[in-house]
Amino acid sequence: MTTSAHEAGNRAFWEQAAATHGTHAGDRYYDLAKVVAGGTLMTLHEEGALAAATGAPADDPLSRLGGLSVLHLQSHIGVDGVVMARAGARVTCADWSPTALRRAQELAAQVGVRIETVECDARDLPAALHGRFDLVYVTIGAICWIDDLDRWMRQVAAVLRPGGVLVLVELHPLLQMLEARVPEIVMDLPYGGGAAGTWEGSGTYADPDAPVQSSTTCYAHSLGEIVTGAVSAGMRVDRLVEHDALDFDPRGDDLVTRDEDGRLRLRLGRGREEGSRGEPLPVAFTLLATRA
Ligand SMILES: C[S@@+](CC[C@H](N)C(=O)[O-])C[C@H]1O[C@@H](n2cnc3c(N)ncnc32)[C@H](O)[C@@H]1O
């Protein structure tokens, strides 16, 4: 399959996913009623990253967003962008899916906030966005769709104002490598190098029964490539934290299992003691990087 066929498959998947997410009872992730009622779907890692980037207290992570100009990049149906707008930020949602952006505007109207939407490729952000943003917020399930991560990082740096911060919360490349752990461990994507993997499937990560047929291609980026990409694009890395727990199952395929504390961890094999569980592997990371 050619690169443009990969891209066409990915775009078609995201158009379908954007049309269906938050519309079915079977959707385990996009609880839009909760957002309209004043809640948020942000994970602890996303809230923690925003608190760290803005200097907000951990127990009130969105309290310092007022007046900030935020680009929610690869915003999908705009849930976090709408929540940040409600917290006082001037939010622009950017995605290549027109359906996703239409859904984001519908959600903003329901919540009673204004957002700007820009339909564009994240690898080629419009000049009108350059130098405008205090924060570029990108979270879980975004960079695996990007074939040329260095170019993507240069676009992020270009749209930040000097001193502006990239807030990137993503799945760990180690988790991306893993396809299954039962009945045997299957690792079918390299750790990095921009390697591509293509999958045929149905449903989505949020709604496995959604009427969506897809052929999608994801790209592997190692942690070293991500950090080096940010630095090469002219950003200073302020924080890189690897997380060994999640508060939701990102792929809906039970690779991660729930511990007694309610959080989900990736445990393979066993620990030192016979019958003990293996130590958790990293499953996500937070990168904060400032445009110099
Ligand atoms: C998994 S979603 C992001 C989910 C988001 N964190 C959330 O909670 O809803 C990934 C998004 O990236 C978008 N996307 C993928 N490749 C893109 C590209 N090259 N340019 C712009 N958007 C892209 C898709 O349309 C999709 O909306």
pLDDT at 253 over 90: no
Rounded mean pLDDT of 265-284? 96
Q: Calculate the average pLDDT of the chain.
A: 96
With 80 as the cut, is the pLDDT of residue 1 above it?
no
- Per residue in 176-196, pLDDT (tens digit) is 999 999 899 999 999 999 999
pLDDT range class, residue 119, cuts 50, 70, 90: very high
Domain boundaries, the chain: 3-291
- Residues of the chain with pLDDT > 90, as a percent, come to 95
- CATH assignment of 3-291, among 3.40.1280.10, 2.60.120.10, 3.40.50.300, 3.40.50.150: 3.40.50.150
Distance 56 CA to ligand 1 centre (A): 27
The residue type found at 47 is E
25 or 11, which is more confident = 11
Residue 260 CA to ligand 1 center (angstroms) comes to 32
**Separation of CA 274 and ligand 1 centre (Å):** 43
Alpha-carbon span 32 to 133, nearest angstrom: 26
Q: Whose CA is nearest to atom 27 of ligand 1?
A: 76
pLDDT at 254: 81
